Structure 1
Amino acid sequence: MPIQHETELYMPVKSFFEQQGFTVRGEVRSCDLVAVRDEEEPVIVELKKTFNLPLLIQAIDRLAHTPNVYMAVEMPEHGRASHGLAWNDLVRLSRMLGLGLLTVRFYKSRKPRVDLMCEPTPYTPRKSAVKTARLLREFKERSGDYNVGGSTRRKLVTAYREKSLQIASLLHTHGPLSTKRLREHTANPKVTTMLQDNYYGWFERVERGTYKLSARGAAELGDFAHVIGDTPPATQG
């Protein structure tokens, strides 16, 4: 049952912390909820109907008061997170910012349920040497900047596509070539594998170890003239 106001989150969250031995007060120096237990650092909870950017900014500001900052949002009936994201995404984001996350699910005939999604603990990103190496390899293997950042639904010029274009351009210019000749022209040790995989459908096998440009390859070369230079008129594969 969707709530109408974020104040409806207050009592369930207050009860959640009181059950853990905290004393809770609402609206303390602009903080939605403050909970204190013994001599521990205070807990601050910011309440919002949905997970959004203003909530994140508000919670980050509260870190100046205490490292124990939570965000509390309603768990919708359908169980899906807002903005088309998965709850795992929101949990990961919260952890990266050192924030805790609570969800409150409301029912028609029973008490609301509060679930702890993550604690507000300091976060140190784990660097992946493999991912870094892949990123740098892709960057270095591209010959230029042929993509506009933020593009969607466009054919991106990756390092793999560049290598495929290089092969296709040679086949377009010289006709059928052996894998040995193509390897010599391109200095690409993976030429044979790329021709066999034929990921873009640009190549056709003429005989063992020899390939030509397919009709599709000839037709699509023109789409990448800015990468390979002026492309001759397409020929039949």
Structure 2
Amino acid sequence: MVAIDWGNIFDLQLAIESLPYILQGIGYTILISFAGMAIGLFIGFILALGRNSNWRIIRWPARLFISYMRGTPMLVFLFLLYFGLPNIGIQFSAITAAIIGFSLHSSAYMAEIIRSSLNSVDKGQWEAATALGMTAKQTMLSVILPQATRIAIPPLSNVLLDLIKASSLAAMITVPELFQRAKIVGGREFDYLTVYILVGFIYWGISVLVEVWQSRLEKRFSNSRK
């Protein structure tokens, strides 16, 4: 029976020494993930309203955009923004291209989550608000959105978790985030396994914090109904 040399799987000393350098990239990881989430949420809300529009000239472009983004790999879209657009005179920095890419790509998924959440609110809510003399805007902001938000929180939190993990793709366009720095250490020390295990735990730690935040948000909106 061949004995396992655990030192070749995970070098604890290398992990400890490399941790400060790798963590220097966490700012870019957080920036890309949360900026992509915030901007994507705004665009997604507009797309959701467009998808629900009675006007085809609004509904179909929204559907086409969502279909394209959901059917295009994130990495392909990043390469298109960073390496492709300069051919027609449009050039972004790596971090800007990453934020734009993640924002637009995630907005398509969030649009469908928001649309389904809005549509899940009982139609009687609209009728009751109208009977009370509320305008469509007042009904949306005061009645529909609070209920839809409670429904949308879990799936939207999953989108944020996916963004955090997918932010590692930004390394492919030279953004010095966590994964890019881990690759540098792995190449320098000829030990990719250790640093990849280490960076995996870092991503996991960030995800756990998001899960805790999600639970608190769910409790807050649940208590607001009582």
TM-score range, shorter chain: under 0.3
| Higher RCO (Cα < 8 Å, 6 or more apart) | 2
Q: Normalising to structure 2: TM-score of the pair?
A: 0.24
Structure in which a larger fraction of residues adopt strand:
1
More helix by share: 2
